[in-house]
Amino acid sequence: MTLSTPAASIANVAVEGTAFHFDKLYGYRIPVELMGQVQPGCRVVVPFGMGNRKRQGLVMSLGETADVEKIKPLHSLLDEKPVLSQELLQLAAWLKQKTYCTTFESAKAMLPAGINVNLSVSYCAAPDVDPEKLETLSDDGKRLVEMLRRSRAMVTRSRLLKVMGLDEKSRLPDELAEQGVIMRSDSAVRRVGDLTVRMARLCDPQSAEELLSGSDLTPKQKNVVRFLQEAGTASIKEIGYFAFCGPGVVTALERKGVVLCYQHQVYRNPFRDQVQGPASPIQLTQSQQDVFDRLLAQIRAGGGVSLLHGITGSGKTQVFLRLAQEVVESGRSVIVMVPEISLTPQTMQLFYTRFGSRVAVIHSGLSLGERLDEWKRIKNGEAPVIVGTRSAVFAPCENIGLIIMDEEQESSYKSEAAPRFHAKDVAKFRAKWHKAQLLLCSATPSLTSYYAAKQGRYSLHQLKERYGDAVLPKVEIVDMRGESPGSGSISEALREALEQNLEAGNQSILLLNRRGYNTFASCLSCGEVISCPYCSISMTYHAANGRLMCHYCGHSQEVPSVCPHCGEGHIQYTGFGTQRVEQELQELLPSARIVRMDTDTTMSHLSHESKLKAFAQGQYDIMIGTQMVAKGLDFEKVTLVGVILADQPLYNDDYRSYERTFALLTQVVGRAGRRGTKGRAIIQTYIPDHPILHLAAAQDYEAFYETEIATRKMMLYPPFCDICMVGFLGIKEQKVADSAHYFLQRFADAASRDYSDLPLQVLGPAPASIARVNGKYRYRLIVKCRDGRRFRQLMALLLTDFGKKREYSDVTAFADMNPEGIL
């Protein structure tokens, strides 16, 4: 009788670094010593490929197999407990299908950057190697072995290759390890460690009196015993402060067996100094109460998707604060998303006042350690309220009751890198999983969301009046064609309004969605514009560092004294950005205190918070900034808003140009007069008769929607279709163009042969509007479609086929569904 081989447990692993065309779950045998410890959601290190190089992976599921011998074993386990729940594992698999990325890429997006590990490879000399074997090595091999022998320690791969002068792709160390003349070690090192504090307590509190009455301890040691007898446990720092001694005294007591010392983990909290409550009760108007009651009933009935559309200053925030309070009191979690880091401080303060330390904050402005610790607090159930930007949608909380997306129309909710997800789609997935409510909020909702609400797919709730005694500001459109030549970027009307506001002790906000000083430099002799050497875009002059900078790849260079094209010395600077406007304001209003908010001034840690807090406290009179100052901010003393150049976004190469212009102008105008004082807004333009400007000035969203939705329907744009952009990137322009045409041909063949039932329109391929970025040429293919299972199947098939074409191995192809910006 033949005995069957007992089934062995295997882990199905998503492996890091796999390309889309060969991404799948790989089965690995679980070693006996790890049986019962490896769980779905844990990270592991696995051997991968022909050379069994170590890679990080994530266990997606467990399985059984009888064919043990052919399966590679796991190398090591990185987590004692799963870092992703079953829900988030399901979400990762869904994101892979939805966004055409690898499974590991989708899972990695859900984890804080600080938890990531680096796989480190090190080598040392092997003991007792036969000298005759060494003689057979190449000269480089002998030198490498001799160097490791002299070091007498493990040497990292990068350092070893650098000292040896070898290329980073060299296989020499691994070949020597395979021959047994050196030894290789693979280890995982976490990028950010836990923050711990050394603590101490008495080993036997019952013997404290005996210790104090004896003569074995010094007076300082007895002080420590008395303090710990009363306090129980304390940090070494606290012991030193209250027992008047140094850490050496505690160490001596530890050696005597009197105290036990250990490490205690503490959380890095960037907002530990925030003031908590007492929060005054939220008083809702009748219209707010009606909206609140309907939304609360929907939450209690099992959730769904709702759109809260209210004019600027109508009190949408009070409504969702009350909802959050009800949800938290019922024992469930709340996720609150805002589109900009600049909005996080004000939103966080509103929630912190009511919920205190139960609020966690997630955004890229925090340090890696702070992000890691906020993630831990959420996962441990210590923070049921999460406030943050796009990544907050992946917060590892259980039992979600409410997800809020403030300013839901904003483009920053869409990721531009793999996985190319929209936070709204992820929020819908999570809300459905938890039977929670997804609440989309905006004064200027996206046309797709408003259309869905009008069609009944979302429930629609509206607030049509400003909260309390606040009224909409008076809006004036200024024709810049009537300004005197050379007068600068500030019109006479705006200058006078700023002066009056300053004299009255009120504050002003100015919007200019261009950073830098001058927008481009050109030669008067030949007309050549100084462009980035790596991108098809002009360089911007920055007065702060006196250099020309590219806003796409970050390249900077000194300002040339002569034209690099013709050699003449006639360089002129044209256009204006936030730096130049700031300088103009200082010259026009020398007594004004001015703060600038753009990506150049908010790069440092928590700089958004500090600048906005200073402005709210009245330390500045005027705030000039890019779109980060236009949305969601609420300042009591702001009574004047100015838009420096309203025309710029109207003519971008995108079907949403009008929608974005309307939203931006409506939002920034709404920053004025939010506390009962009559506000004023001045919009500067060279096309004063443009209808979009007048609709935004009137805050008439309904009229704008009716006009724009008719155009979208006629031209077949979302929400009447989906748009899939297929991008192609590479160093050689002709190769990129050829690859795009090859993809189009394969697309046409497959669509006509096997997918003829799909409604498709294809545009292109063509060079991107900015044809070269960071040294890589870019082509695009636009597909109007319906984002369903069959279309995703077709696109995945084409991307997989393209990835296998060796002649295009140096070209990257990717698909982005409903991108916020067309290449």
The answer to which of 219-233, 516-530, 711-725 has the lowest mean pLDDT is 516-530
The answer to which of 409-413, 609-613, 784-788 has the lowest mean pLDDT is 609-613
The pLDDT-based confidence of 400 (bands split at 50, 70, 90) is: very high
User: How large is the average pLDDT for residues 69-86?
Assistant: 88
The pLDDT-based confidence of 555 (bands split at 50, 70, 90) is: confident
The pLDDT-based confidence of 759 (bands split at 50, 70, 90) is: very high
Question: What is the distance between the alpha carbons of residues 85 and 272, in angstroms, rounded to a whole number?
Answer: 28
Amino acid at 533: P
**Helical packing angle, 733-753 and 789-803, nearest 10°:** 140
The pLDDT-based confidence of 3 (bands split at 50, 70, 90) is: very low
Per-residue model confidence (pLDDT) at position 188: 64
User: How large is the average pLDDT for residues 378-397?
Assistant: 92
Q: What is the pLDDT of residues 607-628, one digit of tens each?
A: 667 787 788 888 888 888 887 7
Per-residue model confidence (pLDDT) at position 730: 92
Do the annotations mark residue 101 as ligand-binding?
no
Which class is 474-517+576-712 in CATH? alpha beta
Tell me the CATH number for domain 8-111. 3.40.1440.60
Do the annotations mark residue 550 as ligand-binding?
yes
Whether residue 466 has pLDDT greater than 80: no
User: How large is the average pLDDT for residues 437-448?
Assistant: 94
Q: What is the pLDDT of residues 151-165, one digit of tens each?
A: 777 888 888 888 888
The answer to which of 410-419, 520-529, 704-713 has the lowest mean pLDDT is 520-529
Per-residue model confidence (pLDDT) at position 728: 95
User: How large is the average pLDDT for residues 480-495?
Assistant: 81
Q: What is the pLDDT of residues 7-27, one digit of tens each?
A: 458 899 999 989 888 899 999
Whether residue 5 has pLDDT greater than 50: no
Contacts of 545 by beta carbon, 8 Å cutoff, 6+ apart: 556
Sheet holding 547-549, edge to edge: 540-542, 547-549, 556-558
Per-residue model confidence (pLDDT) at position 456: 94
Per-residue model confidence (pLDDT) at position 95: 96
The answer to which of 154-168, 343-357, 380-394, 592-606 has the lowest mean pLDDT is 592-606
Per-residue model confidence (pLDDT) at position 779: 93
Up-side HSE of residue 744: CA atoms within 13 Å toward CB? 20
Contacts of 605 by beta carbon, 8 Å cutoff, 6+ apart: 365, 366, 367
Whether residue 485 has pLDDT greater than 80: no
Tokens encoding 67 = 């064919």
The pLDDT-based confidence of 602 (bands split at 50, 70, 90) is: low
User: How large is the average pLDDT for residues 163-177?
Assistant: 85
3 state DSSP class of 334:
strand
User: How large is the average pLDDT for residues 628-636?
Assistant: 70
Do the annotations mark residue 563 as ligand-binding?
yes
Whether residue 29 has pLDDT greater than 80: yes
Domain residue limits, the chain: 8-111, 119-190, 196-265, 286-463, 474-517+576-712, 518-575, 722-817
Closest CA to 592 of 679, 501, 677: 501
Long-range contacts formed by 738-741: CB under 8 A, 24+ apart: 738/808, 739/779, 739/802, 739/805, 739/808, 739/811, 739/813, 740/764, 740/765, 740/779, 740/780, 740/781, 741/765
Per-residue model confidence (pLDDT) at position 2: 39
Q: What is the pLDDT of residues 315-340, one digit of tens each?
A: 888 899 999 999 999 999 999 998 87
Closest CA to 79 of 363, 376, 361: 376
Whether residue 150 has pLDDT greater than 90: no
Q: What is the pLDDT of residues 87-137, one digit of tens each?
A: 999 999 999 999 999 999 999 999 987 777 667 778 888 888 888 888 888
Do the annotations mark residue 566 as ligand-binding?
yes
- The mean of the pLDDT values for the chain is 84
Question: What is the distance between the alpha carbons of residues 574 and 708, in angstroms, rounded to a whole number?
Answer: 34
Per-residue model confidence (pLDDT) at position 274: 55
Tell me the CATH number for domain 722-817. 3.30.70.360
User: How large is the average pLDDT for residues 448-462?
Assistant: 95
Question: What is the distance between the alpha carbons of residues 495 and 498, in angstroms, rounded to a whole number?
Answer: 5
Per-residue model confidence (pLDDT) at position 153: 74
DSSP 227-261: HHHHHSEEEHHHHHHHHT--HHHHHHHHHTTSEEE
**Which of 198-202, 245-249, 371-375, 692-696 tops mean pLDDT?**
692-696
Per-residue model confidence (pLDDT) at position 429: 97
Whether residue 674 has pLDDT greater than 70: no
Phi, psi (degrees; rounded to nearest 5) at 651:
-115, 25
Same fold, 196-265 and 722-817: no
Do the annotations mark residue 721 as ligand-binding?
no
Per-residue model confidence (pLDDT) at position 158: 84
The pLDDT-based confidence of 739 (bands split at 50, 70, 90) is: very high
The answer to which of 106-110, 143-147, 345-349, 616-620 has the lowest mean pLDDT is 345-349
Q: Rounded to a whole number, what is the distance in angstroms from the first to the last CA of the chain?
A: 67
The pLDDT-based confidence of 734 (bands split at 50, 70, 90) is: very high
Compare 166 and 419 and report the one with higher pLDDT.
419
Q: Looking at domain 196-265, which CATH architecture does it have?
A: Orthogonal Bundle (1.10)
Whether residue 552 has pLDDT greater than 80: no
Task: Tell me the torsion sign for CA atoms 381, 385, 389, 392.
Answer: positive
Compare 249 and 438 and report the one with higher pLDDT.
438
The helix (H) or strand (E) run that includes residue 28 is strand 25-29
Residue 303 DSSP label: -
The pLDDT-based confidence of 85 (bands split at 50, 70, 90) is: very high
Per-residue model confidence (pLDDT) at position 193: 54
- Please provide the size of the chain in residues: 823
Per-residue model confidence (pLDDT) at position 617: 83
User: How large is the average pLDDT for residues 652-679?
Assistant: 79
Tell me the CATH number for domain 119-190. 1.10.10
The answer to which of 412-421, 455-464, 664-673 has the lowest mean pLDDT is 664-673
The answer to which of 209-223, 271-285, 546-560, 671-685 has the lowest mean pLDDT is 271-285
Tell me the CATH number for domain 286-463. 3.40.50.300
Do the annotations mark residue 526 as ligand-binding?
yes
> Could you tell me if 541 and 485 are in contact, meaning their C-beta atoms sit under 8 angstroms apart?
no
**Which of 46-60, 79-93, 152-166, 554-568 tops mean pLDDT?**
79-93
User: How large is the average pLDDT for residues 743-748?
Assistant: 94
Q: What is the pLDDT of residues 796-812, one digit of tens each?
A: 999 999 999 999 999 99
Query: Whole-model pTM?
Result: 0.79
Question: What is the distance between the alpha carbons of residues 38 and 10, in angstroms, rounded to a whole number?
Answer: 10
The answer to which of 22-31, 145-154, 286-295 has the lowest mean pLDDT is 145-154
Diameter over CA atoms, the chain = 103
